Amino acid sequence: MTTTNSVLKPRRSPVLTAVMALYLVYTLLPLAWLLISATKTQQDLLSTSGLAPGGTFALFDNIGQTFTHDDGIFLRWLGNTLLYVVLGAGGATVLATAAGYGLAKYRFRGRRAVFAVLLGAIAIPGTALAVPTFLMFSNLGLTNTPWAIIIPSLVSPFGLYLVWTYATEAVPDELLEAARIDGAGEVRIFLTVTLRLLLPGVVTVALFAVVSTWNNYFLPLIMLSEPDWYPLTVGLNQWSAQASGVGAQPIYHLVVTGSLITIVPLVIAFLLLQRFWQSGLTAGSVKQ
């Protein structure tokens, strides 16, 4: 049976191509502006606009000033953010993986009720719970401490739901039964068999949790009053507010450079872990 070139040739849509090109420009334009602005001095940043380059390439100078300004407080904010991500996002990933697998593969009374509560928790925005969370932590005496950020970050309803749905299809019941027949306990099955199958889903949940915790702004804003515990988001906003005050030191170039440094770890994380997403997509599209 022969096929014509017209059949093999993929169809192209000029409209969709144009839409995707506009979307690409819309996505990359703010990043390009941030990168170019971070190479400018304070004077060039105020005298030039848009994507126009400055008269002096000051990127490395700006990076050095960012890390040394105000006794190196930016480095402290970076360390705080990493602490919140490792403990908060890491803990959320572990809890979501274990709970999602348990809900997907074990039958118990009240399972439907848990599912309904989970969907309700996903539908409630985090900002709506910020004030009640603050009042609760205030009564416990945990405000203005790292625990006020880490403990709420451990709860990830969407991550739990994602692992639940992924484990339902990715972990065959026959494989679990075979492991039980061989004498493996439930914990051993989870650690040695299930986690390998759930790896793409776990990485996806981890990335969502890391991005959410890294970009968290409103919760640290109301929970923390001590600048030494600020994450990068709140700290950079404080710098921006200081720079716009009457008689304040002009440090907009440090705010821009700090914003660029802030997004670099997220970009690296996505580039390093995208292969797990691709393997998960291909594994889910093949029937055995």
pLDDT tens by residue, 24-80: 999 999 999 999 999 999 888 888 877 888 888 999 999 999 999 989 999 999 999
pLDDT of residue 54: 81
pLDDT of residue 119: 83
Higher-scoring residue by pLDDT: 33, 273: 33
Using CA atoms, how far apart are residues 256 and 61, in angstroms rounded to an integer?
Answer: 13
pLDDT of residue 120: 86
Check residue 141 and give left, alpha or beta (phi > 0: left; psi -120 to 50: alpha): left
Query: What residues have CB less than 8 Å from 284, skipping those under 6 apart?
Result: 169, 170
pLDDT of residue 21: 92
Task: Give the amino acid at 178.
Answer: A
| 230-240: average pLDDT | 93
Higher-scoring residue by pLDDT: 112, 19: 19
pLDDT of residue 278: 57
Q: How far is CA 60 from the centre of its chain?
A: 27
- Residue 285 confidence class, pLDDT cut points 50, 70, 90: very low
Q: How many CB atoms lie within 10 A of CB 167?
A: 21
- Mean pLDDT of the chain, nearest integer: 87
pLDDT in tens, 124-179: 887 888 889 999 999 999 999 999 999 999 999 999 999 999 998 889 999 999 99
Examine the pLDDT at 265 and tell me if it is beyond 70. Answer: yes
Q: Domains along the chain? A: 36-285 (1.10.3720.10)
| 2-28: average pLDDT | 77
CB 219 within 8 A of CB 152: yes
Share of the chain above pLDDT 70, in %: 91
- Residue 9 confidence class, pLDDT cut points 50, 70, 90: low
The pTM (predicted TM-score) of the whole model is 0.86
Query: What residues have CB less than 8 Å from 110, skipping those under 6 apart?
Result: none
Question: Where does residue 69 rank: exposed (0-12), middle (13-18), buried (19+ CB within 10 A)?
Answer: middle
222: nearest Cα among 119, 129, 140: 129
